[in-house]
Amino acid sequence: MAPLSDTTAPITDISQLDLSQTYSYADYLSWKFSEYMELIRGRVHRKMSALTTFHQIVSSNFNGVIWNYLKGKPGRVSPAPFDVRLLRSTGNGDAQVQTVVQPDLCIICDLSKVDKRGCLGAPDWIIEIVSPSTATHDTKTKFDLYAENGVGEYWIVYPGEQAISVFVLEGDEYQPKGDYYEPGLVPCHTLPELQLQWADVFEGKLAPTLARA
């Protein structure tokens, strides 16, 4: 692992890092980047390029529906930017944690995992909204990472296709539970009483036009 960043010379750009090295959450905290970064098993990854308007609409729609459902109940929904420290294969100290991700949305039922810096441990449910620059990252790298760390439910959302793929962790692997691409209920394993409709996510004043852009 690379040594902790020198606090007398702040790291302000990814070009200052040796990307062949691995880093820890302690290093991550010392960086002063203007763009969002993630650590995947110690390796530095840019979060993504600028979000499209439709991506933001879809994220906001999810957040609103889930937030309204959880109001007055245990649990919370947190949209990005929100640091999630995954630590199944490491200790929980800042210098030990090597994976810090910023899911588009994460739902945490055990609020003891939430601290002033984000979430320490696996959320119960993660939603990632795919863009062209993140397709492989979301459907392969994070798919494996979230299963490895015990995230119970993972939704991959395709804004252009207006589709949602639902996966639930069974044992150590995700099992597909359905693909949803037209009006109707999208069942949620984590919150079974949540009546989330496909139209709640993809329909609205601007959504149909922007999805085709």
Q: What is the CATH number of the domain that holds 95?
A: 3.90.1570.10
Instruction: Let me know if residue 190 belongs to a domain.
Output: yes
Strands (E), 8-162: 37-40, 43-46, 76-79, 84-86, 99-101, 105-108, 114-115, 118-120, 125-129, 153-158
pTM for this structure? 0.89
For the segment 182-196, what is each residue's pLDDT rounded down to a tens digit? Answer: 999 999 999 999 999
Count of domains forming the chain: 1
Banded model confidence at residue 91, pLDDT cuts 50, 70, 90: confident
pLDDT in tens, 35-70: 888 999 999 987 655 568 889 999 999 999 999 999
Write out the residue range of the structural domain in which residue 134 sits: 53-211
Does residue 31 register a pLDDT over 60?
yes
Question: From the CB of residue 142, how many other CB atoms can be counted at a distance below 10 Å?
Answer: 22
Write the pLDDT tens digit of every residue in 150-190. Answer: 999 999 999 999 999 999 999 999 999 999 999 999 999 99
143 occurs within a structural domain: yes
State the residue for tokens 């030990």.
96
Q: Is the CB of residue 49 less than 8 Å from the CB of residue 121?
A: no
Whether residue 114 is contained in a domain is answered as yes
